[in-house]
Amino acid sequence: MPPQETQPGRSRRPLALTVVAWIFILNGIYAILLTAYHYMEGSIDINPVILCISAGDGILRGNRAWRVFALLSAWFALLAAGFMAAVIVVKPHAVTITGLTFLAPWIGAKMFLEVASIALIVAGAWVLRVLYRVDTRDFFDHANEPNHSTEPAERSLGGSS
């Protein structure tokens, strides 16, 4: 099915981009929860990932600056996950687990970190693919025009452009 358009030349937000925006929003909410948890434990740990809530909202609205922020964040996460995977292979005991530690006893800390690294690499690569797609760029190019729709288009999550 071709992407829906409100007017010729004005594209709608791709469904995959909506998913990416919500990934950012949920990541930011998780950062708020971690910050609150650390505060209740007696330490102040303000997590800059909280900005992901604004990034997700900006992506949904077609704000180019938040797209750039999302691209930089995704690249950073992808590089960090790759570095983490390399450290796990070379020196597995050098990495410790924070957050989700309840999973480690059942699957083992090393396996947990390996799976987490691979999942982060795959997710980061998918987010970058979506943010670089032609239909995504078209959405951001036309987002500030009058009568532009920020509603999601009916399109597959992996769609090609």
Q: Which of 42-46, 116-120, 138-142, 155-159 has the lowest mean pLDDT?
A: 155-159
Q: Which of 2-16, 38-52, 59-73 has the highest mean pLDDT?
A: 59-73
The whole-model pTM stands at 0.74
pLDDT, mean of residues 137-157: 69
Q: Which of 15-29, 77-91, 102-116 has the lowest mean pLDDT?
A: 102-116
- The pLDDT of residue 11: 65
**Whether pLDDT at 2 is above 50:** no
Do 14 and 3 meet the contact criterion of CB atoms below 8 Å apart? yes
- The pLDDT of residue 86: 84
DSSP-derived letter for residue 14 is P
99: which 2 tokens? 């957050």
Q: Which residues contact 97 (CB under 8 A, 6 or more apart)?
A: 104, 109, 112, 113
pLDDT, mean of residues 19-26: 96
State the greatest distance between any 2 C-alpha atoms of the chain, in Å, as a whole number. 57
